[in-house]
Every structure is written in structure tokens, then in C-alpha cells.
């Protein structure tokens, strides 16, 4: 190494820094002490000066001049190279500490200005456990919608991974806003752990890929009742769905028959529909809450509110008038969503009853509805009441099928619970507390009927399958407790 070589090294270093983009330079400055490289160059320069200066003094330890000259030359080479390697190692490790956390905010600002986020993702992933002490300003930048959108669009779900960590979540002063931004962007993107969880459960992509990492992430977030409740995660789900509906941009296409939306093969349109994904994510969360016996409020009414908005924008295709009586029209995306919401509430109610029975093995007949169970039955009856009162919003065959399911479930609970529940061989004759709840909630809705309500209920009751004993017995009882004007 000589002075020319050192200057060449310095020139290459300066060129490398010049080639780097603003984000990379910020990242380097975040982890590499500013004194490291300049000091190493100065030390190398000093060693070269000592080597070449004619001092005329004895060498250290009496070593030969050739050996001392060699060691000084070697040192002048090793020191800057070692400093460069140490700088690379510090950058690669990307360890945030109390010393450099203050530099995270300007780093994120630069990334936002340059719209470059690969380095943001790399650095944050290496520091997931150290971000609890992140400054408030840096946290606000981290959950800026532009940052979230770019990372989510590159299939990095770092933000949800961060929110899944309780210490980090609780350290945020704006945690609800952060959750809202992340959930909304994931729904808009379509391809995300949310989509993977939904299509894995209900289909929509013929060969879904639900990785263990995605499954774990969904398990500790949307399927963790405490996390789901405490983060108010239901809110961005319902708001995103309702905003999509209220915008009106979907009305034309979602009111036309679309085989691809309901398709089981290939990649269906519903797999990337924010409304469908939002509904099913709420269903997953409520189902999990039922199974673990959580007593918290999980906003079952969200499903009913989404259904109401869809009904406001839904209409029966005029061509359906030419379809033979008793034949169901082709599904439109809106009719598919309506049917799924009602049947989801039906299935969730069944789960609520099943869990209630499981927890009272000694006397299942005495089991009573839980808080979520009561809300589910109420929303189920409200949903059917809305559908029956809007004759031009849904195909009549589908509408009657949905209403019939309610009565069938009610009769099964009173006279043959095994028809709808897994009783593990138990001889459960009835679940009258649940049966009476279904009747009570329906009768509450009957107080101010329209002609459409009367016509639909009469038609459904007249066409029940009376060949099944539990339906025949249930209907005989219903005639004694049901308003007469609704009977056929």
C-alpha cells in the first residue's frame, strides 16, 4: 500500500457512496458510525507517513527496518479494508438500538420521498423485537398508508406481523388507526393472508396456497378473539365493504349474472372482492370466538349492516321474469353475497348452539343462549325480515330457501336437535330455550309487516317438507303460538 493506493481506495469509496440512492445512504448512516471510515483512512495515512518519513531514530524493539516498513504498509492496507468490512457488517446486521433509533424517522421520511421500501422491510424485519421503543413520529410514518400500500403490494405483510406482537401494539398511541390502514390495504390488494384464510375455508381459488407462516399470522390476529376485539379489527372490515358498496361503481356488474364470481374452479372473482373477503374474515373471527367461549362483543350486527347496504343496491334482473316458476335464477355477485351472509349467520348460530350443548353435557336440554348466540339469532331474523320486505331485490326461489332454513332450524331445535347438531350419541330431546329464542326474535319482527312479509311466510310454511316428523310436529306447535295472519 502507498499513498496512491490509499487515494484510489478513498476514490472508490466515494464513488460507491455516490452511486447509492438516498435511502441506502440513510440506511448506511443509520448503522455505521460517521467516524469509522474517515478515521480508518486517517490512520492508514498516518502509517504511510511514518513509513516514509526519514525520522533517523531506532526502530521499535530493535526490529530491522524492512520488517517495520512491511508492518506499516500492511497496517495501512488492513485498517481501511477492515473498517469497510465492519461497515458492511453493521449495515447487514441492521441492529437498531437506543443510539440510532432517533435516526429511524428521517430514514422513513427519505423512503417515503423516494418511494423505495425494500430497505425499510429488511431493516424492520431484523428488528421486530426492538420496535417497542420506536418514537411516536417514526411509528406514524411507519403506518403511513403509502408505506403500507407499497409493502403490501410487494406481498410483504410486515405491518400485520408487527401488530400481532402485543408489546409493539400496546406501545402505539394510534393503534386503532394503524390496524385500520393495514386491514384496508390488505383487503384492497386481494392477495394476502386474509385471502389465503378465506379461500382455504370456503374456496374461490382451485389450488390455494395457505402457508404455515400465513396461517400462524391469521391465528394470532383475526382468529385471536382478544386481539380482534382489542384492536377493533371489525371496523376496517365493515367500513371497507360498505364503502365499496355505497360507491355504486359495482352496481352494474354486481347485478348481472356472473358464473365466475361463484366459480369453484380456477380463480374466482370473489377471491379478490373486498366485500366478500371482509364478510368472511368477520365470520372467521366470530366462529373462533364462539369456539373458545369468549363473552366479548364481536359486532355480529356488522354482517347485517353489510347485507342492508347490498340490498339497497341489489335488484332482480328483468330477464329473470322469463324463468320457469320454482327455478332459481343465476347468481349475481350481489345475490351470492346476500345468500352467503344469511347462511353464514345460520351456520354461526348452529355453532353457538353446538358449543352451548358441548359445555353442558350433563343436562344439554337446559342449555341457554350466550350473548353472541342471542345477537346471532337477532341478526338472522332481521336479515330475513329485510329480504322478505324487498320483493325486487332477490330471486324469489333463493329468498324462500333462506327463510325456510330458519323455520327448519327452529323445528329441529324443538323436536330433533340431531338434525342440525352433532350430539355424540346423546339422546337430546329438545333445546327449547334456543327454540323459543328463534321464535321470540321472529315474532318481534312481525309487529309491523308489509304484504311481502305475509306472502313469503305463508308460501314458505305451505311448502314445508311435512314428511319429516320434526317439521310436522314443529308446525303443529307453531300454529298455536304464531300470529294467525301469517299462517297459510
Read off the pLDDT of residues 123-171 as tens digits, 9 standing for 90 and up.
888 888 788 777 878 888 888 898 898 888 888 898 999 999 888 888 8
- Given a cut of 60, whether residue 215 has pLDDT beyond it is yes
Residues 142 and 130: their CA atoms lie apart, in Å, by 14
Residue 381: helix, strand or coil by DSSP? helix
Instruction: Report pLDDT for 337.
Output: 95
Q: Which of 125-129, 313-317, 474-478 has the highest mean pLDDT?
A: 474-478
| Cβ contacts of 356-365, under 8 Å, gap ≥ 24 | 356/434, 357/417, 357/421, 357/423, 357/428, 357/431, 359/293, 361/426, 364/423, 364/426, 364/428, 364/431, 365/428, 365/429, 365/430, 365/431, 365/432
Read off the pLDDT of residues 46-83 as tens digits, 9 standing for 90 and up.
877 766 766 555 555 556 656 767 677 777 778 888 88
Instruction: Report pLDDT for 322.
Output: 46
- Given a cut of 90, whether residue 175 has pLDDT beyond it is no
List the single range of 16-25, 188-197, 284-293 with lowest mean pLDDT: 16-25
Percent of the chain past pLDDT 90, that is, above it, reads 41
Phi, psi of 115 (to 5 degrees): 55, 45
DSSP code at position 464: S
The more confidently predicted of residues 96 and 463 is 463
List the single range of 314-328, 403-417, 443-457, 474-488 with lowest mean pLDDT: 314-328
Q: Give the C-alpha distances (Å, rounded to integers) separating 240 from 184, 235, 422.
A: 6, 8, 36
Residues 316 and 332: their CA atoms lie apart, in Å, by 9
What CA dihedral angle connects 215, 222, 359 and 421, to 10 degrees? -70
The more confidently predicted of residues 244 and 117 is 244
Instruction: Report pLDDT for 61.
Output: 52
- Given a cut of 90, whether residue 206 has pLDDT beyond it is no
| Cβ contacts of 451-457, under 8 Å, gap ≥ 24 | 452/388, 452/389, 452/390, 452/391, 453/385, 453/388, 453/389, 453/486, 454/485, 454/486, 456/388, 456/399, 456/400, 456/403, 457/388, 457/403, 457/486
Q: What is the mean pLDDT of residues 457-478?
A: 93
Read off the pLDDT of residues 12-55 as tens digits, 9 standing for 90 and up.
666 666 667 788 888 888 888 888 878 877 877 787 776 676 65
For residue 165, count other CB atoms closer than 10 A to its CB.
Answer: 15
Instruction: Report pLDDT for 470.
Output: 93
Residues 302 and 132: their CA atoms lie apart, in Å, by 32
Instruction: Report pLDDT for 186.
Output: 93
Instruction: Report pLDDT for 324.
Output: 47
- Given a cut of 70, whether residue 187 has pLDDT beyond it is yes
* CA-derived radius of gyration, the chain: 33
**What totals of helices (H) and strands (E) does the chain contain, helices first?**
24, 0
Q: pLDDT tier at 467 (50, 70, 90 boundaries)?
A: very high
Asked if 376 contacts 345 with a C-beta cutoff of 8 angstroms, the reply is yes
Instruction: Report the mean per-residue pLDDT for the chain.
Output: 85
Instruction: Report pLDDT for 321.
Output: 44
Read off the pLDDT of residues 323-353 as tens digits, 9 standing for 90 and up.
544 555 688 999 999 999 999 999 999 999 9
Instruction: Report pLDDT for 6.
Output: 61
Amino acid at each position: 500500500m502507498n499513498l496512491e493506493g490509499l487515494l484510489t481506495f478513498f476514490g472508490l469509496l466515494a464513488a460507491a457512496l455516490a452511486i447509492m440512492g438516498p435511502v441506502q445512504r440513510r440506511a448506511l448512516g443509520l448503522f455505521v458510525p460517521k467516524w469509522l471510515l474517515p478515521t480508518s483512512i486517517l490512520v492508514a495515512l498516518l502509517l504511510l507517513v511514518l513509513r516514509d518519513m526519514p525520522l533517523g531514530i531506532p526502530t521499535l524493539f530493535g526490529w530491522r527496518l524492512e520488517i517495520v516498513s512491511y508492518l506499516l504498509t500492511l497496517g495501512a492496507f488492513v485498517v481501511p479494508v477492515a473498517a469497510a468490512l465492519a461497515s458492511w457488517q453493521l449495515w447487514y446486521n441492521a441492529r437498531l438500538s437506543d443510539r440510532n433509533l432517533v435516526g429511524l424517522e428521517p430514514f422513513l421520511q427519505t423512503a417515503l420521498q423516494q418511494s423505495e421500501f425494500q430497505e425499510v422491510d429488511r431493516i424492520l424485519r431484523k428488528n421486530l423485537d426492538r420496535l417497542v421503543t420506536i418514537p411516536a413520529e417514526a411509528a406514524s410514518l411507519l403506518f403511513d398508508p403509502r408505506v403500507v400500500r407499497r409493502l403490501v403490494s410487494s406481498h410483504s405483510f410486515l405491518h400485520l406481523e408487527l401488530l400481532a406482537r402485543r408489546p409493539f401494539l400496546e406501545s402505539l398511541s394510534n393503534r386503532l388507526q394503524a390496524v385500520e390502514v393495514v386491514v384496508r390495504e390488505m383487503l384492497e390488494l386481494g392477495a394476502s393472508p386474509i385471502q389465503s384464510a378465506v379461500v382455504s375455508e370456503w374456496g374461490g381459488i382451485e389450488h390455494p396456497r395457505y402457508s404455515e407462516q400465513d396461517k400462524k399470522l391469521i391465528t394470532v390476529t383475526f382468529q385471536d378473539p382478544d386481539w380482534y376485539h382489542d384492536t377493533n379489527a371489525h371496523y376496517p372490515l365493515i367500513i371497507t365493504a360498505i364503502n365499496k358498496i355505497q360507491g355504486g361503481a359495482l352496481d352494474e356488474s354486481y347485478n348481472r349474472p356472473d358464473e365466475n364470481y361463484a366459480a369453484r374452479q380456477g380463480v374466482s372473482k370473489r377471491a379478490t372482492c373486498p366485500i366478500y373477503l371482509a364478510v368472511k374474515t368477520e365470520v372467521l373471527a366470530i366462529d373462533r370466538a364462539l369456539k373458545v367461549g369468549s363473552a366479548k362483543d364481536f359486532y355480529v350486527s356488522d354482517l347485517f349492516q353489510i347485507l342492508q347496504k347490498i340490498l339497497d343496491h341489489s335488484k332482480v334482473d328483468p330477464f329473470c321474469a322469463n324463468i320457469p316458476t320454482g327455478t332459481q335464477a343465476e347468481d349475481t355477485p350481489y345475490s351470492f353475497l346476500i345468500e352467503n351472509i344469511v347462511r353464514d349467520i345460520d351456520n354461526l348460530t348452529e355453532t353457538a348452539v353446538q358449543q352451548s350443548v358441548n359445555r353442558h353435557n350433563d343436562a344439554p336440554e337446559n342449555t341457554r343462549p350466550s350473548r353472541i348466540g342471542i345477537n346471532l339469532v337477532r341478526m338472522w331474523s332481521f336479515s330475513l325480515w329485510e329480504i322478505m320486505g324487498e320483493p325486487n331485490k332477490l330471486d324469489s326461489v333463493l329468498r324462500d330457501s333462506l327463510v325456510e332454513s330458519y323455520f327448519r332450524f327452529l323445528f329441529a331445535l324443538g323436536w330433533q336437535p340431531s338434525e342440525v347438531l352433532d350430539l355424540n350419541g346423546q339422546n337430546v330431546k329438545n333445546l327449547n330455550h334456543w327454540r323459543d329464542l328463534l321464535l321470540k326474535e321472529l315474532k318481534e319482527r312481525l309487529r309491523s309487516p308489509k304484504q311481502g312479509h305475509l306472502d313469503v311466510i305463508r308460501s314458505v310454511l305451505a311448502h314445508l317438507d311435512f314428511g319429516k316428523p320434526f317439521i310436522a310436529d314443529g308446525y303443529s306447535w307453531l300454529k298455536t303460538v304464531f300470529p294467525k295472519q301469517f299462517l297459510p
